Chains A and B, each alone.
Chain A
């Protein structure tokens, strides 16, 4: 059995992604991710979903040479897209329980 964990610490994140603390502070300031807990920056802990977005943000910022305002906008839109796709899938599924999938035309 492998232990699962829902969180990543700031130190781990910096080490794994080879980024500076200041970069994460910036990411948090722009609202791309929010620490789960931690009074001071060095105590910050992120959940796995935040970690996912932080990594994406770092990649986009590096590879596309974009400033943080633009990265934050991209991430916001990606999050919104993911949420809408999920919602859409859910509604479609629910709708199928109420109406016929196929439209039957009147003779």
Chain B
């Protein structure tokens, strides 16, 4: 077991006073708190800092730790507490929410019989942890309400160790769920200790980008490519929706970026159904044959249109 130098973890000297220790903890906790810092490794770092503070803020624990630190000398790598060590007079208080995640080192010196895990109460044990996972969902699944299976891992505690075991579930995404929403599955999180309830599973819904449709709330946005002459003269186009195809009339003189609203062809929401918006995009053909080129040349000669009129006003 590795000896953890809590002073080093908090970046304070061994004769730091309570104020310095608190200030160091606050600074590091703010930096690494997993709710604020999404970077990988931040949570582990936070736990380490919280553990160090747990010990150093408490006079008695700090004194015990100082004693051990002296005993360890420079042999930090393979540290064993002295055989007659009687630490852990008071168990660990409930200071952070990351219960039961104290290091082996901490548990061996302060855990006593109670261990780091059993600080939250009662004979019935304690409720299992909630688990939150991101669930990528295809657009079609939101509409068709298909059953799908999910796989995730739940932390299980065995003899003071946390192990992750895989779990399998079948779920149906409720109608009206939107991107970014969280769905609760009661009792599908980590198992509780003893007779206590299991935690819940939260599914954080993440829409998988669709090849055709973008999602904006309950509305769908579709890019509608038009040839320049279709935009100029107007036309009828067949537009794909999530459920079959529909016909759309494009009026003459349609500008790029113009939106056409197709009512009720969006995503089902809570009590409402979103719309589908087709946004015009003018597309040039990759190759233009000689005949078309002649026609365009004629148009160019005849047309008095100046697309850069705006520039003239300002320069």
Contact = CB atoms under 8 A, between A and B. Distances in A.
Given A6-B174, A16-B130, A94 B214 contact: yes
Given A62-B95, A97-B223, 8 more contacts: A2-B169, A2-B188, A8-B184, A58-B97, A59-B35, A78-B35, A90-B215, A94-B223
B33 interface: yes
B178 to A, nearest CB: 10
Contacts of A60: 33, 35-36
Interface string B109-146: 00000000000100000010010100000000000000
Contacts of B94: 18
Interface in A1-27: 1-8, 15-16, 18
A48 B135 CA distance: 15
A64 B172 contact: no
Interface of B: 26, 29-30, 33, 35-36, 46, 50, 94-97, 120, 127, 130, 132, 147, 169-174, 179-186, 188, 199-200, 202-203, 209, 214-216, 221, 223, 281
Residue from the set B180, B199, B203 with the largest chain A CB neighbour count within 10 Å: B180
Interface of A: 1-8, 15-16, 18, 48-49, 51-52, 55-56, 58-60, 62-65, 74, 78, 82, 86, 90, 93-94, 97-98
B180 A82 contact: yes
Given A52-B132, A64-B33, A93-B209, A3 B186 contact: yes
13 contacts: A2-B188, A4-B185, A5-B186, A16-B200, A18-B94, A18-B120, A49-B181, A51-B182, A52-B182, A63-B96, A63-B97, A90-B215, A94-B221
B184 A97 contact: no
B46 to A, nearest CB: 8
A8 B185 CA distance: 11
A74 B174 contact: no
Given A63-B97, A97-B223, A86 B179 contact: yes
A86 B170 CA distance: 27
A52 B170 CA distance: 22
B188 A16 contact: no
